[in-house]
A and B are shown apart, each in its own frame.
Chain A
Amino acid sequence: MYLLTVLGHRVLQTMATVVFVAVLIFALMHMLPGDPAQAMLGDRGTTEAIAQLHHELGLDRPIPVQFWEFLRRILTLNLGESVAMRIPVTLLIADRLPNTLLLTAMAGVLALLIAVPLAFLAALRQGGWADAIIRGFSQLSLSMPVFYVGLILLITLAAGLRWFPVGGIGSGFVEDLYYLFLPSLTLALSFSAILLRNLRSSLVEVLHAEFVSFATAKGLRRRVVLGRHVLRNASISTVTLLGLHTSSLVGGAVITETVFGIPGVGRLMVDSIFSRDYAVVQGLTMVLCVLVSVVLLAVDALQALLDPRIST
């Protein structure tokens, strides 16, 4: 059936992406000037330590063998060990990932809550002052870097008014929601600006579609036309949009975690870069890419469910 073909295609693509990213990271590590082991150990490296690490990392073997080892290890979910903390990377990531996922999910939901109604309002009152204000807000949001929005919210709502904590994470799900509210709002504001712009124009398109005229010509009430005919088509575009921009959501999460000091994979990434903990950086990049692929897979499935043109 069509549906399986589409999904199957996406799964294959995910696998190809993982391999591609693996190749990329491996190439980066090994084609760079200098010695990876040296770079990893930095100042901590004595000659013996470097030689030891060389052997540990298998750097004294020929390149194809190294690459094979690299792939093999990844397939068995062994992402190596963090040089700085001496614990398996997988453990490190597993500890931080749920926080990032929660943050991203909350941000996504908030963004939809902001963008969808505003897009509808702007599209229905196209050319009016509501539309102009909404588009202006969208433009403004798009021009603001995520960390700036975060800082503003921090300064005003957290530090200033003391409505929210300044950072970190709670201990328990409900408390987490409270702690993550401001960060998700930050991310959501930026993300909703992207969604808003595209959603509005696709809504305008739908509103002017011939089938909307036809539905009106049948004598249906405006509410029915909007609710049944427009909404269903619009939700398909929304899902498509979400999929398209998922990777920017993940990118934004990385920055947001840094601003708010949230122990998630984003901050882990940045910290690892500074501590030259390449094993972690490698592993994280892989995980993030796989994550995005999975989300895209879900989006494809959702689309196929909503849009009969795909699955029949």
Chain B
Amino acid sequence: MKKLTYLFAVGLSLLFFASCKHDDLSMAKPNENVRPAADFVKNNYEMRLFYAALQKVGYVDQLNGKGPFTVLAPTDEAFNNLGIYTAADFDKMNADSLKKVIGYHVLPRRLRVADIPSNGIDVRYATLEGTALYASAASLNPNGGALDELYFSGVEATRKDVPMANGTLHVLNQVMKPNFSKTIQQWLAQHKEYSVFVSGLKKFGLWEQLAVQGPFTIFAPDNKAMEDLGITELSLSAMDASKYLGDLLFGVYILYDRHFFTSDGQVFAGINSNGSYNYYPKNTTYYMTFGAGKMYPSFKLAYSLVLRTGPTSNDPPVAVSGDITAKNDNLCSNGLVHHLAGGLVRPEEAIKR
């Protein structure tokens, strides 16, 4: 009898403790065939150039390692837009710079769309290279509708949340263009196609500021665009700087205290129905409208500038759009440079009266 009660007590207490455990769960066996990051990229023929770049800079073993990683993989078409068509084209590049740019396309963490705050703009995430990139997500519009657009440093993620064994992958339709510690001044000086614009900035005392803290957004007209306006190296050197409004003639291409990716216009068009920004170019009475987004007819990210002589729609406009997507969104340490296909102000329009 005593033994029985004792057994009963022990048995009962065992039941008490056993009730806290839930050992017997049956679960589906995880799929072990999901590939690690570098192998995954290797096996996608849309990303052959990106894999070649990973191989060239020696990231393959690391990306097949433990992780977790987030790989922002530009497609071959994205590299083609930059003039890179074969793996051999990478050999012509400076290996260190290439490694930095490729490292900027990998995050040492798992970043799914759900991890990015809804309607988060310019959320910074550290990359493998060390600098932080900018992520902007258009998730909700003011009427309560759901959006699903994600951009990294101005480049759209066209496929999102692709699972890999050691992380996640997003497909980019452009290559991000970080310039790390390079300033806008250094960047412009290295690109010969903007040499007339650079000479003009120097001539009118707008050049030195581009070496210091910004931010700036520069809409850089190339030499062809300048020539269409009647500005060449030769005509510039003959120009008397004191007779022209430099802030209008060349300052109009500088947007002060703002850094706008072309994707920002698209994101804000979604989240508050307004993807444009109006401003008076510094020290002028002209009125500029910057608009950006996926533009007709190609529906690729582009921007447009509309310059008017005054703030109302009655004032006559000079419209220009910069539609070469691959040349926009050059991210420098103190702002952004976008390519501008046509100039805005002719010298005779900027004569001091």
A-B interaction? no
Instruction: Point out residues on A near B: beta carbons under 8 Å.
Output: none
Q: Tell me the B residues contacting A by CB distance below 8 Å.
A: none
